Amino acid sequence: MTGTVFQIGTGLAPLTILNGEDEGQIRIAGELEEQIRWLSGVVIKACGELASGLGLEKIITAESFQVQSVDGMPAYLGVLRHKEGHWELASSSQHAATSILLSGVPGQLRRAQGSVVWVAGEWSGEIFSIRSFGLKPEASPK
């Protein structure tokens, strides 16, 4: 299922919702819910078991997910690293570990080196130019 992530509520029991392109709103459950929740506003593809909840509620127990886009721009999730004078986003999937060379890394993002972040932007050859980014809450620089 593909859709935009958003959070309903705060405090002890917020809900994580995937606003599906065709399926409508689907509540995300399972071990990955917390990892997905901070991606509010990001379009992801979530894979897992779909079930029905109370009433008309649909629930997906997410077994995996992949960041797709932000504001219509391609987006990626990974660990920000500075290696050999270059910035890169390192991700590891079930299939392979990959790195994306980055340009236009703003200061606030640089201070989050070693943290999980998402970046959105555009490709220029083999380098990804950052136009927008998101920091996992505990990774936000002080």
> Could you report the per-residue pLDDT of 4-46, keeping only the tens digit for each?
999 998 777 789 999 987 778 999 999 999 999 999 999 999 9
User: What confidence score (pLDDT) does residue 140 get?
Assistant: 53
48 and 82 assigned to the same domain: no
Bridge partners of 69, per DSSP, are 43, 74
- Choose one of 27, 43, 68: the last residue of a domain: 68
Q: Contact 117/80 with Cβ under 8 angstroms? A: yes
Query: What digits encode the pLDDT tens for the residues 46-89?
Result: 999 988 877 778 999 999 999 999 999 999 999 999 999 999 99
93 and 132 assigned to the same domain: yes
Query: What digits encode the pLDDT tens for the residues 76-134?
Result: 999 999 999 999 999 866 556 789 999 999 999 999 999 999 999 999 999 999 999 99
- Structural domain tally of the chain? 2
Find where tokens 């071990």 sit. Answer: 31
User: What confidence score (pLDDT) does residue 102 get?
Assistant: 97
83 and 127 assigned to the same domain: yes
User: What confidence score (pLDDT) does residue 26 get?
Assistant: 93
User: What confidence score (pLDDT) does residue 114 get?
Assistant: 94
Domain holding 15, by residue range, is: 2-68
20 and 58 assigned to the same domain: yes
87 and 130 assigned to the same domain: yes
Nearest C-alpha neighbor of 61 from the set 8, 21, 16, 20: 16
Distance CA 142, CA 25 (A): 35
Distance CA 73, CA 122 (A): 7
8 and 58 assigned to the same domain: yes
Record the tokens describing residue 28, joined without a space: 């995300």
Distance CA 70, CA 72 (A): 5
